[in-house]
Amino acid sequence: MVAAEGKLKVILGYAAGVGKTFRMLEEGQTLKAEGCDVVIGYFEPHGRQDTIAKTEGLETVPRRIIEYRERTFEEMDTPAILVRRPRVCLVDEFPHTNVPGSERAKRWEDVLALLDAGIDVITTMNIQHLESLNDQVREISGVQVRETVPDWVLKRADEIVFVDLTPGALLNRLDRGVVYAPEKAHRAKENFFKEPTLAALREMALRQTAHEVDLRMTPSAPREGEARSDSASSGDERILIHVTDSPSAVGLIRRGRRVANFLRADCFAVAVVPGPRRAALPGDQREALQRHLDFARKLHIDTRVLDAEDAADALVAFAHTNGITQIFLSKPRKPNFRFFGTKQLLAMQVIRAARDIQVTVVADRQTPRT
């Protein structure tokens, strides 16, 4: 008999120190008091006394020591948890990247393995780690977040709960040394821990939680882990994202994915490369294109590479065959002059060719503005 998939609960916050881990442990304690078999799979104490106190009486599966480049790292011991087989496992810091040498690159992948084995997981994350918000987060905070969780993984969560604390109270905690040691607290104030940045992140987390509640309420919305983008979805929109080797493609893919998620639309990513020239593409361009297609696939977007000379015609033809309602393109940089005979903007070519399809030209949020 195959074990039923475990349930996933995500405790969502907007910054370190709002009380996510505390809440996770509190729920663990409540479950244990109810007689449930709970273990701590991973816990990051950050030297916070009140949080550490909450682990009292809870069983911890010891971390695994991994050596990498003559240094030792401690990671969650997923194989040991699978052997221990608790009913519920508490896993701190969902977006964490494992040290090379671990079976899986990301902690969220470890969590998926636990769920597959029928273990329920309660985990913690901050909004700035959600993949589709990466560009917005950088714009707001100036920080490029490297550890991200794809939106489909969060969508897989059965429950999401938002842990709130006002930015004022959080900054207070930071000053009192509750969140970080003084040195780290000082550095934190340079990036996320500014009042308007915290307020903006908090607003984003509230809106995301509202969206997640909305998604789980509508029975017709398929869970993306089960239904890929080629299956019927509840929306009547189908979105096509034009993937290129340009650095702006990354932000475009994120944006297209996010809009598709909210509109519950199917989503495709298409690159157009003339066949004979594909081999002739310079290596770095070919690599960039491949990287962007891989990135799209990681976000659960179906990808295609079309062999054609004219990108606009190929995109529109693909759109017509596949019932696409909206094409997503990158916004071109503004040219200083426009000479007679200058090549038309791709966006305008597509707009002119796509007689019954909407075209969304996405702003380049990739290049930091001065």
- The DSSP secondary-structure symbol of 142 reads S
Query: Closer CB to other proteins, residue 2 or residue 217?
Result: 217
Position 347 contacts other proteins (CB under 8 A): yes
Position 36 contacts other proteins (CB under 8 A): no
DSSP string over 7-22: PEEEEEESSTTSSHHH
Residue 334's contacts (CB-CB under 8 Å, 6 or more residues apart) are none
Stretch that binds other proteins, among 45-53, 116-124, 239-247, 343-351 (CB under 8 A): 343-351
Q: Each residue of 244-282: b (16+ CB within 10 Å) or e?
A: bbbebbbbbbbbbbbbbbebbbbbbbbbbbeeeeeeeee
Position 343 contacts other proteins (CB under 8 A): no
Find the binder of other proteins among 30, 60, 144, 166 (CB under 8 A): 166
Residue 243's contacts (CB-CB under 8 Å, 6 or more residues apart) are 249, 252, 253, 269, 270, 271, 289, 292, 293, 296, 303
Position 47 contacts other proteins (CB under 8 A): no
Position 358 contacts other proteins (CB under 8 A): yes
- The DSSP secondary-structure symbol of 321 reads H
Taking the C-alpha atoms of residue 360 and residue 347, their distance in angstroms, rounded to an integer, is 9
Rg (CA), the chain: 23
Partnered with residue 90 across adjacent β-strands are: 40, 122
Position 132 contacts other proteins (CB under 8 A): no
Stretch that binds other proteins, among 91-99, 271-279, 301-309, 361-369 (CB under 8 A): 361-369
Position 369 contacts other proteins (CB under 8 A): yes
To other proteins, the closest distance from the beta carbon of 156 in angstroms equals 15
Distance of CA 47 to the CA centre of its chain: 28
Partnered with residue 342 across adjacent β-strands are: none
Restricting to residues 49-78, name those near other proteins by CB under 8 A: none
Distance of CA 310 to the CA centre of its chain: 33
Find the binder of other proteins among 263, 271, 311, 312 (CB under 8 A): 263
Position 7 contacts other proteins (CB under 8 A): no
Position 177 contacts other proteins (CB under 8 A): no
Position 178 contacts other proteins (CB under 8 A): no
Position 139 contacts other proteins (CB under 8 A): yes
Position 214 contacts other proteins (CB under 8 A): yes
Stretch that binds other proteins, among 28-36, 110-118, 214-222, 294-302 (CB under 8 A): 214-222
To other proteins, the closest distance from the beta carbon of 51 in angstroms equals 16
CB contact at 8 A, 24 and 92: yes
Binding positions for other proteins, rule: CB under 8 A: 9, 136, 139-140, 159-166, 168-169, 195-196, 199-200, 202-204, 206-207, 209-211, 213-214, 216-217, 236, 255, 259, 262-264, 326, 331-332, 334-335, 338, 340, 344-345, 347-348, 351-352, 354-363, 365, 369
